[in-house]
Amino acid sequence: MGMDSTDGKPAKQKMWGGRFSSSPGELMQAINVSIGFDQRLAQQDIRGSLAHAAMLADNDIISQQDLKDIQKGLGDIKAEIDAGTFPFTDELEDIHLNIEGRLKEKIGEAAGRLHTGRSRNDQVATDFRLWVRDYLDHLDGQMTDLMNALLEKAAAHTDTIMPGFTHLQSAQPVTFGHHMLAYLEMFARDRSRLRDCRARMNESPLGAAALAGTPYPINREMTAKALEFDRPMANSLDAVSARDFALEALSVASICATHLSRLSEEIVIWTSAQFQFVKLTDAFTTGSSIMPQKRNPDAAELIRAKVGRIMGALTSLTIVMKGLPLAYSKDMQEDKEPVFDAFDGLSLSLAAMAGMVRDMTPNKEELAEAAGAAYSTATDLADWLVRKLGMPFRDAHHVTGTIVALAEGQGKTLAELSLDDMQSVEARITDDVYSVLTPLASASSRTSYGGTAPSEVAKQVARWQALLKD
């Protein structure tokens, strides 16, 4: 072992100790070190090492005594990490060397045999893949919880009338339950994409070594099974250099964050003094420092903004990977921080949104009044003219426009306009027309599959209750 020139103590051995005669400078150390963030891979690193050690012993590459020592040492290290007492050090630049160095302190020479038939290249690829897979499982549970929150709200408001919008202009009456189910469908697709991503990434890089495989008689199927992968990756070059699993996971996260942002925007609008469609408690709002009357929907606003960071992470990693030749390059050290940050942000956003959905109370009176504003049942009048009078839709559209103008001139809703007034525009109109002119009647008539009629919403609620129960 070399000597430190400043104090005469033995210098810590570096991975490149046999190649270079002096230690890297401070700048090199600063740019090279990753333990500050990749220590999040500690549990996955230990799990991968245990699987690798068991395989080595099973194939007589290391002794059974070495295996026992390695298992005992890694168990002690895991306990230290769990307790927060593990001595992480920048001098051992990454999580792999930190754990390996600590293992050597605990069990001596046997620690060096653990790395037989393995490189840090396949080791980090395995650790990172395991971490992403673990976090996808966590996010799956959170998405399911949000879906349940939306379903609970939908079930409670299958017949609560509200305005439906296009261009943020009142269009046609819908039900609040129908609106909640629209987001449930979006997050269901997000969860489906997440599960597709997990299935596609569930192959093991372990055993690919640096880039070309190893001459040792290893059993990659054994380590893949131990780590709950479906199979080993079939190409050693691809195994150590692929990060598309992380890119796909970030793509899923970006789409989900976009959906969260859209719902957040609606909550911001709905809680405003101008709309007052829903109320949130103090649990998900904050006050103003100088305006005591205000209740700001800060949680929704912060979720709305998270998509920027999450999509930024996808862009960041895409640019890191876009020009890299095979196989491994140190550029890939930049893969973890954006993924860690994006997944943490998405997890927090999913939890907060599920909480807000359960917390918000629809203001039924305001919603019903808004549902009837801006002549939102005009399309129902046109449809009635087509169905009952056999009028071509374009003619019905013209007649309806004339009647709307008449009601507007009198300051009345369509349901308040007299039959005589409507017959002055089209003589064949009967009093049956009033059966479609209220917001509830309008919504109730939309009985096509996937429509907003309370009867259809109740069917979709029942369908989702069965699906989520399973």
Give the tokens for residue 307: 């998509």
The secondary structure element, H or E, covering residue 225 is: helix 220-226
User: Which residues fall within 8 angstroms of residue 315, CB to CB, at 6 or more apart?
Assistant: none
Distance CA 199, CA 132 (A): 12
Handedness of CA 41, 45, 47, 48 (dihedral sign): positive
Pairing of strands 231-232, 203-204: parallel
Among all chains, which residue has been given the structure tokens 């050690």? 53
CB-based contact 295:256 (threshold 8 Å): no
SS3 449: coil
Distance CA 158, CA 238 (A): 51
Residues marked as catalytic: 167, 288
- CA nearest neighbour of 48 among 123, 107, 102: 123
- In this structure, which amino acid lies at residue 64? Q
CB-based contact 442:382 (threshold 8 Å): no
The secondary structure element, H or E, covering residue 254 is: helix 244-270
Distance CA 263, CA 253 (A): 15
